[in-house]
A and B are shown apart, each in its own frame.
Chain A
Amino acid sequence: MGVIYVMVPAALLFAVAAVAAFIWAARSGQFDDADTPPVRILHDDDPSP
């Protein structure tokens, strides 16, 4: 079970990386507007003139 001493810190590192990515995304404003994108996706296929 010695592998646990490698796997658990590795998993923790992944978690830290994910949290860091989330913090970066939140701070750069990617979650500021959660209302428009789900609506916009409905009409992105509109043909341009």
Chain B
Amino acid sequence: MPPEQAVTPCTHCGTPTPSVGVALGIHVFCCRGCEAAYALITTCGLDRFYALRNAADTRPVTNAPHDFAAFDTEDFRRRHVRTVAPGALEADFLIASMHCGGCVYLLERLPRLVPGVEEARVNLHRGVLRVRWRDDAVALSAIARVLDALGYTPRPPDPTARHAARTQDERRELVRLGVAAACAGNAMIYAVALYAGAFEGIDHAHATLFRYLSLAVTAVALAWPGRVFFRNAWAALRTRTPHLDLPITLALVAGAVWSVISTLRGEGEVYFDSLSVLVFVLLAGRLLQRRRQQAGSDAVESLFSLTPPSARKATPEGLAVVSADSLVAGDEVEVRAGDSFPADGLILAGSSAVDQSLMTGESRPAQVARGDAVLAGTVNLTDAVRVRVERSGEATRLAGLVRLLEDAARRKAPIVLLADRLTGIFMVGMLSLAALAAGAYLFIDPARAVERAVALLVVTCPCALGLATPLTLTVALGRAARRGLLIKGADTLEHVANARTILLDKTGTITLGRPTVVRWVGDESLRPAVASLESRLAHPIARALCEGITVPPHLRDAADVHHTTGGGCRGVVGGHALIVGSPAFVRGSTRHTDTPCARALLAEAAKAAREGLTPVLIAAADEPAALALLGDAVRPDAAVAVQTLHQLGFTVGILSGDHPEVVATVARVVGIDPALARGGLSPEQKLAYVRARAADEAVIFVGDGVNDAAALAAAQVGVAVHGGAEAALAAADVYASKPGLSPLVDLIEGGRLTMRTIRRNLAASFIYNILAVIGTLAGFITPLLAALIMPMSSITVLSIALRGAAFTDRVRRPATRTEPTPKGGPAWA
């Protein structure tokens, strides 16, 4: 564990950043990218961004800049750019990292950041930015570079018609809901007139008018929005698979036939209002649920954004920029430092370090040289290499992972809304009970038979029952979102409440997912100079050495910087020669390696390497003077969160692609039984393990990488943690926008409370209904009284749902919690 350090949030992204060194300004940055983004934003006078944004959602801009040269090619223009006026062009971009008001503010002020841009409009719902710019004033690649520097990497939108089709679907659903609402509203007004008439007396002619009117609006409701249920039920009948629309259809048809007969005969009661309200309530519940689920799933295709949009292909005329999807096996491409590989291939020339953490979960970069295989989507860190393409596009391992993910998502049990299920069964039950009651009364008291049956149907209107579950869930989901937990499916909370097993990914979930300096041995005063030298490099180790260090102006210039792949680098900072690198590299390039200080440092380095840390030796004046020990540090809240999870009755395990020994060490540190910590797993093995566990019990899986995505989809509840890959986000049921494991505790407590509220609600409406049924059958409740009692049950259910304590500050918390309380007042109002 590192010694006590002052930790300050990064001014741009809020990442806790150790602030070391002396002359600290007000602003601390976790990385160069954030510093640049902050400078860009403030010089353009857009400081309000920092007041408007949701701090938890801003991500660090640590990515090496992407290459957008392909955005200027003819091919790209033909596919994605439209001419809207002479000289004015327009294009849409998908931007995955837009979440909050600050993003909208900043992006829509793009014309102030980039001269030549005329307008920028954000659509948060789809995550699309529409840019209009003057062709003669600015190149599209320049606009893209600015967006990238701000942390909003633009991607060309999916050219297929899928988005358009989905928009059309959403609009049709909305139209159906609107029509159903209007029909339900009107049918209820006519019903009020009829009920009032039953009490006050009504002309037979007027009663007939209202009956025919409600018949008409209900016919519209059933024939237009209600058709969805009939179609699903018919399909279920033909394929002989049970579907929840079957009982609903039965209820709708039975109610409609009964009411139509009554209307035509001119006597007996009608239930048109119940029917149209049922159609509306069910459709509304489904629309809400669909929207929640779709919000995140857009990001699946963005997995391909891990591959760069363009590649530098070797042609007889030299290097040419081509779009990455045009590559075929056998092509030769050059990949510069900081770029990701466009395809799977073999290194032909050069050597470099590659960050494969996305694919393997391994946090340390791998050294590659001629003949080694590299995978699409992994990042080339240090040197340019030549690669022969072996597999591209759909054939890459990355594309295979996407298919695995889609497959895992499809296999998940179909989501059945508890309310839908219950309402359908309930309606059928009530209709049969009403028919039975009417039949029985025909023998006892024929005059009252119909009245009793009607009162029964009115009093047991499924509104309360139908509302109870979706309402409680919607309230809980909304509050959770305000606390930084985005829950995609309503059924997720049900699974969360049932789960007793939680499996965690290591890299990025329990640990920070990137190397940080965990210990510094020797001369502390060298750190600013080392940071100055290392700020020239894109390697994660170099970034870790820069992290949180403010370089004083006299050390800003590093001269004669030379870098050796897999070794280290040397340079002159502030007039002093400095060598930074692996112990072997530094020993080979330094003269005085036999001094007591050097021997002590080398011994320390050897010891640390055995503990799984990466030693970096620093030599000044030709003598080893300091040692930085780097490791993937455990998140500060991990141990407390694991302890709380144990207290909540969970079995906590680790699934990781990292080396088993490293995994065991981390397990010991956070207090997880090492027997439950499994390391060295491939994405397929993770998926298989989660699937096997998920077959027996509800499992929560927490991860952040592409290698976790399939397992996230396969688990009953997949939780993607802050800073994870878009693929993980897409596959997960829950996205925690706060870093660390403490949001998990929030989620589990909230899920359990929500399910308790739902059960209380269902119990309340069942008790109400049972009492009402007994009262009606015994003859205490007339149809009019029933109509008056009916709203009471809805109001009861409503207040129980709104008073639920899930995801509010009223939840009792264990005293050990250390996370700061979120901003804002109580999440309910």
Contact = CB atoms under 8 A, between A and B. Distances in A.
A36 B104 contact: yes
A46 to B, nearest CB: 7
Contact of B124 (A8, A29, A35): A35
Interface in A9-49: 12, 15, 18-19, 22-23, 26-27, 29, 31-36, 39-40, 42-43, 46, 49
Interface residues of A, number: 25
A35 B298 CA distance: 15
A8 B45 contact: no
A31 B174 contact: yes
B795 interface: no
Interface in B164-179: 167, 170-171, 174-175, 178-179
A33 B48 contact: no
B182 A39 contact: no
B91 interface: no
Interface string B361-387: 000000000000000000000000000
A40 B259 CA distance: 49
Contacts of B112: 49
B178 A33 contact: no
B175 A27 contact: yes
Most chain A CB atoms below 10 A, which of B174, B203, B206: B174
Most chain B CB atoms below 10 A, which of A18, A33, A39: A39
Contact of B126 (A23, A33, A39, A46): A33
Interface residues of B, number: 29
Contacts of A4: 206, 209
Contacts of A42: 52, 101, 105
A32 B100 CA distance: 17
A33 B125 contact: yes
B171 A29 contact: yes
Contacts of A15: 182, 185-186
Contact of A36 (B122, B167, B182): B122
B206 A46 contact: no
A20 to B, nearest CB: 10
B109 interface: yes
A32 B112 CA distance: 27
A22 B178 contact: yes
A32 B108 CA distance: 18
Interface string B29-53: 0000000000000000100100010
A32 B213 contact: no
Contacts of A27: 171, 175
Given A29-B171, A32-B125, A40 B203 contact: no
Contact of B123 (A1, A22, A33): A33
B191 to A, nearest CB: 14
Nearest to B182: A19
B592 to A, nearest CB: 58
Contacts of A23: 175, 178-179
Contact of A5 (B123, B170, B209): B209
Q: Which 4 A-B pairs have the closest CB atoms?
A: A35-B124, A39-B101, A33-B125, A36-B124
28 contacts: A1-B203, A4-B209, A5-B209, A8-B213, A12-B186, A12-B213, A19-B182, A22-B175, A22-B182, A23-B179, A26-B171, A27-B171, A27-B175, A29-B167, A32-B123, A32-B170, A33-B124, A34-B125, A35-B124, A36-B104, A36-B123, A36-B125, A39-B100, A39-B124, A40-B108, A40-B122, A43-B101, A46-B109
Given A8-B209, A31-B174, 16 more contacts: A1-B206, A4-B209, A15-B185, A27-B175, A29-B167, A32-B126, A33-B123, A34-B125, A35-B125, A36-B104, A36-B123, A39-B124, A40-B104, A42-B101, A43-B101, A43-B104
